[in-house]
Structure formats: C-alpha cells, structure tokens
Structure 1
Amino acid sequence: MDQKTVDKKAALISAIDRCQNPFIIAQMEAILQREQVLSPIGKLSKDYPLLLQVQSNRDISLQTGLRIKAVNKLTKYQEIIVWPKFIIALIMLVIAAAIINNFSVNEGELQYSSFISSLAVIYGLLWGLFVLDALMVIFLAYTNKIKIAQSSFIRKLLCLIFPPIAIGQRHLLEPEKIWLPFYAWSKCNEGLFNHLKKQFSIPMIVIALLIIPVLLIEWQFYEAVETFLNTDLSLILGLVQGFIWLAFTFEFLLLIAIANDKFNYIKKNWIDLLIILLPFVSFVRSLRLVKVAKITQLSRGYKLRALLMKAREGFIFASFFYRLLAVKPDYQIKKMMKKLNENQKEREIIEEDLAKLSSWLNKRNTDQQDL
C-alpha cells in the first residue's frame, strides 16, 4: 500500500469517527463485508488506476440564463428566431389539441365544424414556417461552412413531422444547451430536468384530477348536466379532455427534450406517452374513414374510437394516482429503496464479474513474471 493510499485510509477512518449518519455507516458496513470478494480488484488497481475512479459524473447543478455568443450568421439567426419559434410551436400544439380531440365520429356520420377546419388551415400555414426555417438553417450552414450538431439537426427534421417538438429547442452548435422561456439558454443536465419535473408535479396532479368529473358526467350524469347547462355537453367535455391532452403533451415534449437518456424517460413515463398517442390513433382512424362510404365500416371505426378514448381516460386516471402517490413520503421511500436495492444487486454482480476478471489478470501477470 503506497503512502497516498495510507493517507486516504487515515482520513477515511477519521471521517468515520465523526460520522453520525446511520445510513452512511450501514452502507460502509455493507461494502466492508465484501472486502474478500473484491480483493482481486484492489490488487489489480496498480496496473489499472481506472478501477479507483469511483466518483459519479452526475451534474445536478442548475445552470440557466447562459450567454451564448453569436459567432456566425447561423447562431445569430437562431438567437433571433428562438422565441418566436417557441410561440408558434405552442400555438400549433394548442391547435393540434383542438383538432385531435374534437375530430369525432358521431352516429355514423363524420362531423366537421368550420372552426376546426379553419384551425387545420392555420396549422398548415404555420407548418410552412417550419419548412422555411429548416431551409434557412440548411442554407446558412452550407454557405458559411458550418457543421450543425447531429442531434440538433435530427431534432429539426423531427419538427417538420410534428412542429410542437420545437417547444424544447437545442442549440444548433452546442446541443448540450436548450432554450426555455424564462430560463433562456440552459444546460441540459440532471439538475435542470429535476427542477422542471418538480415544477410540473403539482400542476399536473391537478390537471389529471380533471378527468374524474369528466368520467362521472359521462357515466352517470350526462343527461342531467346537459339539461342543467342547456348546452352541448360533448363540446365542453371535449374541451376539458383537449386541455388535459395539451398539458400532458407539453410536459412530455419539454422534459424529453431535456432528458439525455430519452429511452429511459419514455420507459418511465409510458402511461403519459399512451395518453398522448391514443388520440392520434383515433384521429388517424377517423381520417381514414373519410374515404370510406360503408356504414358498417363507419360504425366499426366509431366503436374503435370510443374504445381508444375510454382507454385514454383510464390512463389519465392511472396517471393521476401515480403522480399523487409520487408526492407521498412513504410511497417514495419504498419506491426509492426498492430501486436502490435493485441497483445495488446489479452493482454487486458487476463487481463480482470484475473481481473474476481481476483474478484472471493477476494470475496471468504472476505466470508471466515466473517465466
């Protein structure tokens, strides 16, 4: 054991003497119980210093309001367009919510309103602005010989498919930075993600809670409420569900834009994703029915849409309870400890595999020295 390691050990012993945290003491005790299993790794650490790099590379700092120099025409253009682009993307998301959630099939006939048709036209015109934006970016990058970050370029192409994705705009040259309203350019890291997730938590619980009166009215009190209000209740319920969809979609698009591990985010928030996608399935199904004249097919399409809408309502209801449980301390502790134990088990398996490899390398080195 070299002097540096001896000094570290002495400092650690001193820190243990001062430690009053039973959780940390329990963690250290668990590690020391595995000393014999991990001893081959310690022997190999002289040849592989990488084994001693146990610090995590998490970045939980909140870095907002970052200044980015507009060093060329492309970055100057992005600085000018970033705020208007966010507003347009948000408007298009609102329009999408109105169209998707109100495009309905009723009694075997397709019902369109002039208002929804007008919204579709506006959406198409605004989509044209995103096409022009993409062409402008490509033109500026080509003429100024600027290489756009691959992830930012892919995201820009995805915006042509669904422009509201531009709610979370990454920098074209520095993709680790994202522009957010009231935060300006911010660093995409765990700190920003956790901060925004916390900001969304309570409002999203309240919004998800709106599905309860919708379900009660649809299942039990539809005629009574419609008579009392003396209006078309389906329109009001459609607006409420459209607002819920809008909120879930906005949160999802913003957080997935920040998340570095997007697949993991989708895996953890699959309920929210289903809430967002189910109306799309119904919408596409309804569009297909525009070309179909047979009443039987219209009827089947209506039944499918009704089933999808009920499924979405169920997922919103489930999301409400999941989010509600997420703020309860007991549930959070159990959930986190379960995850911690799973991660610890996985860590121990990896360490044991590493120890086996270390034993083999130590044996090989010894054999080579004997030769």
Structure 2
Amino acid sequence: MPLALPHTCAVQAARRDDGVLRLHSSDVRGGVTELRVDKLGPLGATGDRGGWAAYPAGVVWALREAGLQVGGADLHFESTVPTGAGLSSSAALEVATAVALDDLYGLGLDAPRLARLCQRAENEFVGVPCGVMDQMASACCTRGHALHLDTRDLTQRQVPFDLAAQGMRLLVVDTRVKHSLGDGAYAERRAGCEAGAVALCVGTLREVPHEELAAALERLGEARLRPLVRHVVTENHRVSEVIRLLEAGRTRDIGPVLSAGHASLRDDFAVSCAELDLAVEAAEAAGALGARMTGGGFGGSAIVLVEEADAAAVAAAVREAFAKAEYREPRVFEAVPGDGARRIPLS
C-alpha cells in the first residue's frame, strides 16, 4: 500500500535516429554514458550492476525485448529522490525513463504495463529480484491517496489518504544508512519466501489465509522458513487492516498496525538495522501514533505517523536520539501523497 512522494526524478528527453542512447545525470559525476541500443544485454548474470546508467538502459532493453520499436535517445536526469534511502529511487528512474520513451516513440503504454516492463528491466537487466510495487507506485499513484495494490493480479484502487485534513502528518526519517538490494540479502529473503510457498504447496505466500497461519507454520519442515512466511502472511493482513480502518474513518488507529509491521520486519524478516530501530523507538517514545521502516531494509528510511501538533517534537526527539548514539544526523521531512509519473511540458 504505497504512496508517491512529492520528490521527483525528472528527465529531459530527445529522440535520436542513429540508435545511440546517451545518458547523463546532474547528480552523478562521470560525464555522459553512451550505448548502442542494439547491443544492450542483461548485466545481472555477470554480477555487474553497471551503476546508475544500468537502470535507464535496462528500460530500453526491456521495451525492445517486448517488441516495441524504441531507438536511440538523449536522456538527461535530475532527481530529488534520496538514493539508497529505501524510497524507490531506482523505480523513479526507471519509470521516468519509460514515460519519456513512451512519449518519444508513441508506444501507447498504459501505466500498469509500463510498470511491469520497468520491473523486468530491474529483474533481468540489472539483476535485482524486486517485486513490482515500487514501479506501480511511481507509475500509478495519485495525489492525496495511497495505492492499494494486489500483486497477485495487479488490481488496484486509490484509497483516500489526506492526513492534513484530519490533523495528522506522515514523517519520513532518512537514516542516511545506505543500502543496496543488489548485494544478495534481499534475494536471500525472496528465495526463502519462494521455498516456503513450495513447501506449503501454494503458488505464492499470498495464498496462505491469515487465519490458517499457525497450521501452515506447523507444516513447514525447515524452521528457518517459518519467520519469513509469518512475516509475509501477517504483513498482507496488516494491509487489509489498514484499509479497513481508513474506510471506517479511524485513521489514527493505523498507528499500532504500522508499529507491528516494524516489529515483524525487525524480528521475523530481519531486514532492519540499529538506526531504523532507534528512529522507530525514539518516535514512539516522543508520542508518535506509530512508526515503521519502509523499503527493502538494511538501512534507508522509517515512516512516522504523528499528530500535527507533535510533529516538530517527534522529529527533534529522533534527531536527539541519533546524536546521543553518535549516529549521523537523520534527514526528516513530511511525506505528502503525490502524483505518479507524467509529462511536464517545458516552459
């Protein structure tokens, strides 16, 4: 159940007819990366992630692999999305690229298909076995809403999420602990979940009913799989619970559900870290309604639900706790649900 941040990854794009892809980012040193679109091939099998340019290059590859007529382009990127913060900077880069190329070459892609092609680029070209949630959020979210996405069949609906109107705020605490999902830790968790699904004779853990979780865990022969399965099944239940509360107008009551999600990510899925745990603990101690890490883990960010009147005090308490622990000062800002990727005409 993601939402799109107001931060942006913007791309200025121009079509080329010589089959050359030229990539440049104002945020990265090293000049222009120049590639031939007909020579692009997956990097994941070699273990070489290829740096930031692999993500837009992978999108070009995925579009062409899907039979779409995409040629060369000049693409210049400027991003305000924090990198390595668990805030989907790679998905923003991919989706911005795909939207630009869709426009340049008149591909006629709808947002869900565009997101799936971006996921394929990250999975097969870059070599990161991510799901499709981040790409769907970047492509499909709308202002003032959270996206309820069922990745079993990619059905989606927009759930109103206007916290300001109810006197609340959602803060993001960027711990500034960088993570990389390409180092194998994320892949290990995913492989464990897939093994759990095989052991339970289901296609995915999405098919395990929450009310049958205890019995399912008893059937698992490998003890190491039990916490992974427990996290996924309970996390799906927490999404349903948040939607039920929001639809009932009980927005403040989602706070404990967020906190329970963090405990599960910390203890069962084991993807948290000391800085994330401290951010959550300090926020809750200062009066936050709830808090949890977000993103793939091993660093990155936490989200904190607070009363508007408490926002400044909670942010100050988190910073103070980090200073006391001698951690790098975190970056704290408000998350306001924004729109997904779109064309912005140059003035």
Measured against the shorter chain, the TM-score band is under 0.3
Structure of larger gyration radius: 1
TM-score by length of 2: 0.27
Compare the two structures and name the one with the higher helix fraction: 1
